[in-house]
Amino acid sequence: MLGLVGPPNLTSFLDVRFGDSFYRVQNRFPSGVMETAPYGADTYRLNNIEVDSIRYEQVKYEFTTYSGMQLVMARFTPDSSGKVLQKLIQAVGPPSEQNSSKGSAPADTQAFWQLPHGERVVFDGPKRFVAMLGPGGGPLKQDAIENEALDSP
């Protein structure tokens, strides 16, 4: 069956699903902070959280007006690089593109996934950054590009 529908699609990050409302995310993580992204999107930011032995310095969820949460961007700690990359590969398979030599550490790896339902995933080990754009996240694509270009905190 997998061959007929393609690789699995990405539906959520830290139990927040693409399409979830701002209030659903706020209820899941009440310690977060509401912000506005550079292009005007509502954003919900979490600082210093740990899930499944992965430490995230910052996680930002961005929302579109009609499609709910459609972009998540996270900065992880250096010791979490391998775990983040491993979870991505477990969830959606090998990357569509990867920049690293065989045997390179995840901290030195950059990977990109283009998934069959329109989702896009970027993993940047050197910048300790991961971004996931949902199928309805086209309007948020520029925010993801600009956040990836920022230096790690």
pLDDT score at 152: 41
CA angle 54-56-58, nearest 5°? 165
pTM: 0.83
pLDDT score at 145: 56
pLDDT score at 8: 53
Question: Shortest CA distance to 71 belongs to which of 127, 142, 149, 153?
Answer: 142
Local structure of 81: helix, strand or coil: helix
Domain containing residue 43 = 2-149
User: What whole-number distance in Å separates Cα of residue 42 and Cα of residue 35?
Assistant: 6
pLDDT score at 99: 85
pLDDT single digits (tens) 38-62: 878 899 999 999 998 999 999 999 9
Buried-exposed string 58-71: b where 16+ CB fall within 10 A, e elsewhere: bbbbbbbeebbbbb
Number of domains in the chain: 1
Do residues 45 and 33 lie in contact, with contact meaning Cβ atoms separated by under 8 Å? yes
CA angle 16-39-34, nearest 5°? 45
pLDDT single digits (tens) 61-84: 999 888 888 899 999 999 999 999
Averaged pLDDT of the chain: 82
Does pLDDT of 150 surpass 50?
Answer: no
pLDDT score at 84: 94
In sequence order, what are the residues at sequence separation of 6 or more whose Cβ sits closer than 8 angstroms to the Cβ of residue 16?
24, 25, 28, 61, 69, 72
DSSP H or E run through 17: strand 16-17
Q: What is the DSSP letter of 108?
A: G
Q: What is the DSSP letter of 127?
A: T
Q: Which residue has the higher pLDDT, 132 or 147?
A: 132
CA angle 80-81-83, nearest 5°? 65
pLDDT score at 66: 83
